[in-house]
Structure 1
Amino acid sequence: MVAKSPLWKLFYSNKTNYKTNKTHKNAWCIGCLDEKIRDLKFRHAAAIARGEGSAGPDRDNEYWFSRALELVKPTCGKIDSMLAHKRACGWIDPELKRKVDAEIMAKADNPAGDSFVQPSHIAAFNYQPQLPPGYGTSNHSSPSTTPPPPKRMKHSPSFETIPDLTFGAPTDPVQRQEEFNSDILRLICSCELSFYLLERPEFRHFILKWIPHIRLPDRKTASGTLLRNEADRVVAQTRARVEGKLANYQCDGWKNIAKTSLISAMIVVDDEAVPVRTHDMTGRPKTGDELFSLVKADFAFVKETYGVEIIAAVTDDGPDGKKMRRLVKEDPDLRMAVFECWAHQAGLLTGNYLGVKQDFMEAASHGNDIIKWFNNHGKALDLLRNQQILILLKEYALLYPASTRWTSQFTCLSRLSSQEAIILGCVAQHRDELLLAAGPKADAKAKATEIIDRCLEPGFWRDLKRIVRHLEPLAIAANIFQDPSCRLDHVLLTLGNIYDFFDCLDESQDGNKEVKSAMTLSIERRWGKTDQELFILAVFLNPYIRAKFFNADHLSFIALFHIARRSFLRLTGNNLANDPVFLRAFTDYYHQRGDFSRESMWLDGYAEMYQKENGEESVDVLQVWQGMRGETTDHGRGAFIDLALRVLSIVPNSASTECLFSMFGTTHTKRRNRLEPQKVHRAAVVRLDQNRRFRGLKPSRKKRRFDSEVGPGTGSGAGNVGSGGGSLEAAAAAMLAEQGDLDGDGPVAPSFSSVAEGLIKAAQEVPETLDDDDDDIPERLSDLIPSQARARVAQQQPAQPAPTPNHTPSTTPTSTYKRVKLADLFVYERAQDEGCNGLKFYWHIGEAIAETEKCMLEMLRTQRS
């Protein structure tokens, strides 16, 4: 047989047939053979050092090779099988793999001719195991028998992509002990283990048995000095990565299981969340002034510790957060944008929708009852599953919602709505059996009768589909707004899309007129209270959209130019009113010409690249602008690009802080509630750094596809879903922990009515008028600074550059910005005609997150059953 494919440079074959295949031969990966030979040699040397065996006769290369062939499972010598193994194997030499890939692309034949790769090419034959000094003197009580090697070799993930990982213990005892202390601490933090583990006799015995000459630290030392030192080391390493970059500051409040009120702050730099500080608020007032003093101290700490420039600050929309944001605007030393958390705003929008309380909305609570009833009666659930297999050829679980995620209520109702025909068929055919499944008690039979009658009621399914249709855009918007990589243009485009959805509701249907009125008013109110200029500028600076959907009656060329100029002055302190190069750059970008044409910015190339690599993931427009950055950033073309980078780097939510609180919650539990807040914070710092280091290497699998129909919330795009790897099993476990399952509380399936009441109450606590926080949006640029401070600001302004032909200090009066209603902001007909390139530019991100949530709920349901 002639080895024609270059792939055979990576595989050895003894020319025996693969199993019963008479066409293809056995193929052993040389990378796997190399690793197995190294493993066998090391085990042999270690056994001799421990006194558990003798050197015996010389073991030559032929012995090690034949032994490796016995232990490594061959693959089929078919091109597709070998390609699949090449992609998955972490042991193949990367350089050799690249050469073979290049030959495959060039469609070259294997120059080896009629022979396969030879065993002599395996580098492990020259490998000599090196054991740490003193390894053989470990005081094992008795020799142990080495277990036989496994029949099937399971390959570990490759750590080649992690440059700061080290293998092999240092020879110096002091250094070895220090590294062990650091590693064991990182292991405890990243695996959410208790520090009491270090004092468990079973664990101490394990360490003494398998890691001799290592002194295990005690609990107090580990959670004290070692944890503090490791957190300080992480902070120093983080500074080296982020220094000089733009950062978003966010803070939020939380109460732990010990009822201690905390405020935690984080910064987000290039989509990396970095914990800053956690403040114990016990005995301190919950006021805007107190929060402002705390936040201002955090700003100074962040600048000194990490060397970043804060461009935006985000808090929730509580009274203290509102005043804090106003005080930040008024402080002449702080040049940054401030925003309310838009993940919170999405919940308030949903609360306003549910607060309409129309009759058709009762279908959601009834649907919740149907889900619970079938899941709580095994016989009924079996009948339903049999009906699904009969008609759909597979099972679909009736999903339980998660207690902390209102979007899971939508996901569960959406699944129930899709099973209408199945449930109707099951109830019609098996009514008597369903009644028997309820049990002998009269109240149980009455409940079963109620559920069956409800399922047979046509109006119920009509109303259920209606509320699912209304909740879908709100759920997708919530998924987009709470994504850690959300930007300002994500928010405004999504806000415009859901406004258009509710504004186009058919008023002839009962209740739709009230829903339309409530939702358009709610969306306008939240849009009217935010910093409109930066949101508008963010959409304009998306090079795939620019100004083509704006209503020119309200946002003309010159109106957008003034927004850009004012925003640059706010964020940097530089006034570019009389900078002709800045105006020329803005004009070229507006008209898509020169350096800012579609071709020069390589927009089609970026779109094609992201489509190939990431499926339906949208292009990172920030990357497009970073590719155009130059040395000059204070005027002209460079200032325009710098403005785009600043505006598009803003993250208008506190989702990362919420994730930090979830991390606190898994560390500080009902069983482990004596850790003080600062220790919990330091453990989270170490754990986040571990997550960053091992991103992409944690066990995962292909995402399970639980349904294939295209419907609400079933987008297939990857989207910017979160910021880290990890399996669905881990996500489901986290959701279980949120609901109390992992603490022994049993499954909790919150009712739709209880979730709705919580959302309605939160929405009602927010004032209904725009005047409640009018200072949050300046009508004039001078409103950014209080009158009593303007003289002081004038003295503190940096000296303007000397007049030059290209840059002259401005004496032009500052133009003002007039709020634009969302109804007048876009030309909605034109935007909707563009489909996914219009207001739905980021819609697939929310759909992808909804699909992921559906998979997690399915996994959760499987774990419970």
Structure 2
Amino acid sequence: MPSKKHASFLAVKKKMKQPELKVFKGIDIPFNDAQAEMVQTQFLRATVSANLPFLWTTDAEVVKLFMMFRSRATEVMPSDKVLSGRLLDESATQVDASVRVELAGKYVTMASDGWKDKNSVTGVTASAEGKTHLVDLIHTRGKKKDGTSMCNAFCGHIDTFEGDTGGIVVAYITDNDGGSQRGRKDLVIKRPYLFGIQCCSHQGQLILLDYFKENPEAKEETAGAIGWINRHEAVRDVFDETQQQLGSRQPGEKSSKPALTYLSANLTRWTTHTVSWNRQLELKTSLRNAAINWQQDIVSAQVGAEKNKKKVAAMTKEANKYCELFDDPQYWKRLQTIADYVEPITFITNINQGDTTRGDQVILGLAGVYLHFSRHANPRVAAGMVKRLEKRWADFDQPFFVIALVLNPYEKLSRFGDAAGVQIFALHSVFMELYRRVHSRPIPETLSEAERDLILPQKSQKETIVSSAFLQYLSDNSQHFSPFYDQCDEFRKLHGDNPVLVWRQFLPVPEICELADFAILILGIVVNSGGTERVFSDLKIKRTRLRNRLTFEKTEKMSKVGASIRAEHLAEGLRKQRDPRKNHDAKRVAELIAVPKYADLLEQTEDAAWRRVYTDWAVSARQEEMAAEEGGEAYEPIVPAPEGRSKKLLPCPLSKLFGGTVKKPPSRRRQAFTQEERLMELLAAEHSDEEPDDGELEGSGDEYDGGNE
């Protein structure tokens, strides 16, 4: 007895008899086994790529279509069970294998987030070098979500992933609510070599909520007017007609272009407030025109056929209220002010949800918003927002974000304010603590005893090398980094401002390679779960109202195969990369959230040269220690400390890190030098290749005899 598939194909074949057709049948050439396999695989790829139901290959009209190309097409057309079974499994297995090859030995950021349709689902993703891969979809209904359970789940995700792919997980990203937050913090306690970072793309939404709490009038007034228009279709028609009349070149005629919609803000879509307000400002002329010239028509449109006197009075009052609001110049002034203050939040939200968002970008964005709101015209709002932003920053892993900024060679220390008091040795201490933390992974049990004995000496040697390299990096005239800064602008022009690309150029340099590898690790961590959110967006397309019985196992495989196909299409030029939406005047907003480069001003101060000399001396001291210890026993590297005990750099509030101003010191009359002071100046100038001042004595050290003949 023929299967359902073959029965349906036979029925179509009977209808395809040539005398009864007004179309032709395709050529009658059989398929060999290799061709049949290729055709069936392509059917699966087409099904996933176009998001077609698995049953589409058995549809009678589809079968007729393929038989018009080749009469034996039914011999290779797979059934829905073959498509969703063997073919999907084989393609998903191939994708998993290619991902394993791609991620083996690379630093990976893992992230997880929850999603609900009819069921509760957790998506787990892995990101490396700007690409996000779906790792797992987990049905979590009925599972515990307390901190301990979530921590155990995160550990399981990491262990399974590292065992399957050979990738090195360096960070785990979650949102900051309930069990996820507690589980992430417990994960860092349990595995201190991992970074447990809260999803920074959510910070924009949370900061926006903070603003509405500090300035509640902003949300109520601006959202109410657009909501009123969208609730009343007849009222909206009046405003639409005014739009089209104003858009027409001929008086009294309507524009052929459709009226722009009145966009409403949605709090769960973080950037829609700015988009909504900008659209309202764009339609200011037509809204005011309609409110002034057609107020009675608007009132009549809202009242409609209502007969109840109380309801008519309430509707009339509401319509008049919003017409007067649109006519009020102060309303538009307030709206523009609110839009200007909120737009930077939206801007950093867009930055923070990118596939390659780095820690240095997040801290600069947060600092920019902090400085932006510290200048708010309303002192109450300014004080409230500053306090809330400081509280959010206090919850961050500050050493990670600060070192990420310092390791950006285009930034280094330039963004820190004069009040930060960023001392070289205090910063070095933070850096080394972070480096040791990352490299505190347990020694693999698979190593032999002899191999394990070599680990600690090698680790100490690497610490010495990376310490020296970091101090060289902070120096302004290092032999390894000076060539880059000489050509920095040209390199940036050709390759963009991605700091990871800069550090890759230093990997072949023995003295710098360990620092370069660590910088790539830190700057390669994607500090959001945006990739997981994009997976959920894809799931919404696949699990529709009509396909709600699709299992999560099949959905996961379809998502993996679909992502692989899209990547291939982009690489081959078969799919156009969608241009990012531009909802902002980027130049204007960048100025609003700009963090000044204090270093440009600091270079004008008198102690700038001394700071450079001091750093050079530290580098020399470190190199001498390395030379002295070469071939000797391993030791714990010690950084020479300046006189006086320096305070711990972190934690540090935003106001101190990025606040303050640098004033150029007033010129002072040069005082006479003592013999000791002159010696010190000559020594410093000799180390910094500084040209002697007029009248300054030549020579230093033993050559200087105090000026005696």
Matched, 1:523 2:408: no
Report the Cα offset of residue 598 of structure 1.
Answer: 6.0
Aligned to 2:508: 630
SS of the residue corresponding to residue 240 of structure 1 reads helix
Aligned to 1:295: 154
Matched, 1:674 2:549: yes
SS of the residue corresponding to residue 671 of structure 1 reads helix
Matched, 1:650 2:522: no
Matched, 1:244 2:76: no
Q: Report the Cα distance in structure 1 between the residues aligned to 2:395 and 2:555, rounded to whole angstroms.
A: 36
Matched, 1:449 2:310: no
2:539 to 649, 659, 664: 664
What is the CA deviation profile of residues 430-472 of structure 1, one whole-angstrom value per residue up to 9, with x for unaligned ones?
4455455557435465544333222112332232222212211
Contact 2:112-2:124 at 8 Å conserved across structures = yes
Report the Cα offset of residue 361 of structure 1.
Answer: 4.2
* 1:267–1:360 Cα change, 3 Å: closer
2:260 to 366, 380, 397: 397
Matched, 1:235 2:99: no
User: 1:3-14, aligned counterparts within 5 Å?
Assistant: none
SS of the residue corresponding to residue 114 of structure 2 reads strand
What is the CA deviation profile of residues 709-760 of structure 1, one whole-angstrom value per residue up to 9, with x for unaligned ones?
xxx82338999xxxxxxxxxxxxxxxxxxxxxxxxxxxxxxxxxxxxxxxxx
Q: Report the Cα distance in structure 1 between the residues aligned to 2:202 and 2:542, rounded to whole angstroms.
A: 25
Q: Which runs of 5+ in 1 are unaligned?
A: 1-138, 147-169, 507-511, 611-617, 707-711, 720-801, 832-865
TM-score under structure 1 length normalisation: 0.60
Q: Which amino acid aligns with 1:660?
A: V
Q: Which amino acid aligns with 1:544?
A: Y
* 1:190–1:406 Cα change, 3 Å: same
Aligned to 2:371: 500
Matched, 1:276 2:135: yes
Q: Report the Cα distance in structure 2 between the residues aligned to 1:330 and 1:549, rounded to whole angstroms.
A: 31
Contact 2:506-2:516 at 8 Å conserved across structures = yes
* 1:140–1:604 Cα change, 3 Å: farther
* 1:807–1:329 Cα change, 3 Å: farther
Q: Which amino acid aligns with 1:341?
A: C
Q: Report the Cα distance in structure 1 between the residues aligned to 2:87 and 2:538, rounded to whole angstroms.
A: 20
Q: Which amino acid aligns with 1:350?
A: L
Q: Report the Cα distance in structure 2 between the residues aligned to 1:586 and 1:705, rounded to whole angstroms.
A: 39
Matched, 1:557 2:420: no
Aligned to 1:770: none
Report the Cα offset of residue 276 of structure 1.
Answer: 0.7
Q: Which runs of 5+ in 2 are unaligned?
A: 1-15, 307-311, 441-457, 591-627, 642-646, 664-709
User: 1:587-602, aligned counterparts within 5 Å?
Assistant: 587-593=471-477, 594-597=479-482, 599=484, 602=487
Aligned to 2:279: 415
* 1:504–1:317 Cα change, 3 Å: same
SS of the residue corresponding to residue 355 of structure 1 reads helix
Larger Rg over CA atoms: 2
1:694 to 569, 577, 596: 569
Contact 2:263-2:275 at 8 Å conserved across structures = no
1:621 to 483, 499, 504: 499
Aligned to 1:367: 225
Contact 1:577-1:812 at 8 Å conserved across structures = no
Report the Cα offset of residue 497 of structure 1.
Answer: 0.3
Q: Which amino acid aligns with 1:564?
A: F
Matched, 1:822 2:697: no
Contact 1:356-1:515 at 8 Å conserved across structures = yes
Q: Which amino acid aligns with 2:200?
A: W
SS of the residue corresponding to residue 113 of structure 2 reads strand
Report the Cα offset of residue 374 of structure 1.
Answer: 8.5
Report the Cα offset of residue 531 of structure 1.
Answer: 0.7
Q: Which amino acid aligns with 1:484?
A: D
Contact 2:43-2:78 at 8 Å conserved across structures = no
Q: Report the Cα distance in structure 2 between the residues aligned to 1:145 and 1:427, rounded to whole angstroms.
A: 61
Matched, 1:427 2:291: yes
* 1:472–1:372 Cα change, 3 Å: same
Q: Report the Cα distance in structure 1 between the residues aligned to 2:321 and 2:388, rounded to whole angstroms.
A: 36
What is the CA deviation profile of residues 119-142 of structure 1, one whole-angstrom value per residue up to 9, with x for unaligned ones?
xxxxxxxxxxxxxxxxxxxx9837
Q: Report the Cα distance in structure 2 between the residues aligned to 1:373 and 1:300, rounded to whole angstroms.
A: 52
What is the CA deviation profile of residues 510-538 of structure 1, one whole-angstrom value per residue up to 9, with x for unaligned ones?
xx233222211221111111110010011
Report the Cα offset of residue 699 of structure 1.
Answer: 6.0
Aligned to 1:348: 206
Matched, 1:458 2:329: yes
* 1:678–1:246 Cα change, 3 Å: same
Aligned to 2:170: 311
User: 1:475-490, aligned counterparts within 5 Å?
Assistant: 475-490=346-361
* 1:440–1:457 Cα change, 3 Å: same
Q: Report the Cα distance in structure 2 between the residues aligned to 1:379 and 1:306, rounded to whole angstroms.
A: 61
* 1:246–1:830 Cα change, 3 Å: farther
* 1:630–1:519 Cα change, 3 Å: same
* 1:388–1:370 Cα change, 3 Å: farther
Q: Which amino acid aligns with 1:540?
A: V
Report the Cα offset of residue 400 of structure 1.
Answer: 2.0
* 1:492–1:662 Cα change, 3 Å: same
Q: Report the Cα distance in structure 1 between the residues aligned to 2:154 and 2:279, rounded to whole angstroms.
A: 44
Which structure: greater helix fraction? Answer: 2
Aligned to 2:362: 491
What is the CA deviation profile of residues 656-713 of structure 1, one whole-angstrom value per residue up to 9, with x for unaligned ones?
001111111111122211011111111100111111111174565997999xxxxx82
What is the CA deviation profile of residues 18-55 of structure 1, one whole-angstrom value per residue up to 9, with x for unaligned ones?
xxxxxxxxxxxxxxxxxxxxxxxxxxxxxxxxxxxxxx
Contact 1:565-1:575 at 8 Å conserved across structures = no
User: 1:211-222, aligned counterparts within 5 Å?
Assistant: 211=70, 212-213=72-73, 214-222=75-83
Q: Report the Cα distance in structure 2 between the residues aligned to 1:562 and 1:703, rounded to whole angstroms.
A: 43
Q: Report the Cα distance in structure 1 between the residues aligned to 2:92 and 2:183, rounded to whole angstroms.
A: 29
* 1:355–1:141 Cα change, 3 Å: same
Report the Cα offset of residue 289 of structure 1.
Answer: 2.2
Q: Which amino acid aligns with 2:437?
A: R
Report the Cα offset of residue 357 of structure 1.
Answer: 4.6
Aligned to 2:630: 804
Q: Report the Cα distance in structure 2 between the residues aligned to 1:807 and 1:190, rounded to whole angstroms.
A: 60
Larger deviation, residues 383-392 vs 286-295: 383-392
SS of the residue corresponding to residue 567 of structure 1 reads helix
Contact 2:95-2:564 at 8 Å conserved across structures = yes
Contact 1:500-1:828 at 8 Å conserved across structures = no
Q: Which amino acid aligns with 1:193?
A: L
Contact 1:578-1:807 at 8 Å conserved across structures = no
